[in-house]
Copies of this chain bind each other. A is one copy, B any other.
């Protein structure tokens, strides 16, 4: 059985109260008794019982992250990398991280409720927002501190703390890059329509076309699901129906890699007579052949930033929303080809 305050109390002769105060660093304990108690606690290998602390309203020193209901695609490591950044930064600040996914017969939202109303965490991190995001609505109605990676769509109000990478700018940059290389007919493979960033990426593409007096062709835009397979499928669709295309932008790297593979099967030589670009700059992007032109998203670092912010929010309960928009940068590699 683990050591409790009572054990230390007995050993030391002091009351449980005094022991508690000595251990938690109160200043109304004589330094000699504190030293004495500290020594015994150390000998006995005392570890505070976390549940007991929580129970009388203490902080949990725990942050929560819930993985999406349907597992993101097998190859999508967005959440795991984010979680890595979160875990290490949390630990640097004395926090632990509780993670879960929907339990059987429960919704994702139920999991949020379990964490929040079960008082299991001091704050929540929400990632990959979608249109009309019920998780955010719920958290707003609670008084649990939370921070979001991403915003709601541009038509919705994002009245909460967030850190986002400016997807609209990101897609503007790639699109502009391709246009400047001479491309005028550029296909676009978007993610699922209900993801909030889909909206921003689409707008970035649109703006770039606009700014260069190119006509927007809605039929050049399709929706994939962020997987390699959907990159194959959507590229196939675009190349079959619109052979006039000279370039395709996929809104994540896995779809872009799929698109490259399929384009080559269609007889296009990517990086020479056809251009493809991705988004994210995952490790495989630089290894791919041709290497992938893409937009860099520092996911690990975003995890770190989110954590830093959330912890400061927990500490200070700011009255104004902390909203950060990070600027992504274009990484030009072989797949977009030379100037044509």
Which of B60, B77, B91 touches A103 (beta carbons < 8 Å)? B91
Per the bound structure, the CA–CA distance linking A283 and B289 in Å amounts to 13
Which of B55, B100, B257 touches A87 (beta carbons < 8 Å)? B100
Within 8 A of B (CB), among A37-60: 45, 47-55, 60
Which of B47, B53, B284 touches A287 (beta carbons < 8 Å)? B284
CB pair B84–A79 under 8 Å, yes or no, is: yes
A119 near B: Cβ within 8 Å? yes
Which of B3, B53, B113, B257 touches A47 (beta carbons < 8 Å)? B113
Within 8 A of B (CB), among A1-56: 2-3, 45, 47-55
CB pair B71–A88 under 8 Å, yes or no, is: yes
Closest to A113 in B: B47
Within 8 A of B (CB), among A131-155: none
A104 near B: Cβ within 8 Å? yes
A101 near B: Cβ within 8 Å? yes
Closest to A228 in B: B283
CB pair B96–A98 under 8 Å, yes or no, is: yes
A193 near B: Cβ within 8 Å? no
CB pair A118–B67 under 8 Å, yes or no, is: no
Per the bound structure, the CA–CA distance linking A283 and B51 in Å amounts to 41
Copies in the complex: 2
CB pair B2–A117 under 8 Å, yes or no, is: yes
Q: Nearest Cβ in chain B — how far from A97, in angstroms?
A: 5
Contact mask for chain A residues 103-114; partner B; CB cutoff 8 A; 1 contact, 0 none: 110000000011
CB pair B99–A96 under 8 Å, yes or no, is: yes
Per the bound structure, the CA–CA distance linking A49 and B56 in Å amounts to 11
CB pair B120–A50 under 8 Å, yes or no, is: yes
Q: Nearest Cβ in chain B — how far from A307, in angstroms?
A: 12
The interface residues of chain B lying within 8 Å CB-to-CB of A47 are 113-114, 116-118
Per the bound structure, the CA–CA distance linking A94 and B102 in Å amounts to 8
CB pair B94–A104 under 8 Å, yes or no, is: yes
Which of B77, B98, B119 touches A81 (beta carbons < 8 Å)? B77
CB pair B284–A118 under 8 Å, yes or no, is: no
A213 near B: Cβ within 8 Å? no
The interface residues of chain B lying within 8 Å CB-to-CB of A325 are none
A309 near B: Cβ within 8 Å? no
Per the bound structure, the CA–CA distance linking A116 and B52 in Å amounts to 15
Chain A residues in contact with chain B, CB under 8 A?
2-3, 45, 47-55, 60, 62, 67, 71, 74-75, 77, 79-81, 83-84, 87-88, 90-92, 94-104, 113-114, 116-120, 257, 282-284, 287-289, 300
16 new A-B contacts at CB < 8 Å, known A77-B77, A95-B100:
A47-B116, A48-B118, A51-B52, A51-B120, A67-B84, A67-B88, A67-B91, A71-B88, A80-B83, A87-B101, A91-B100, A92-B104, A94-B103, A96-B98, A98-B98, A99-B99
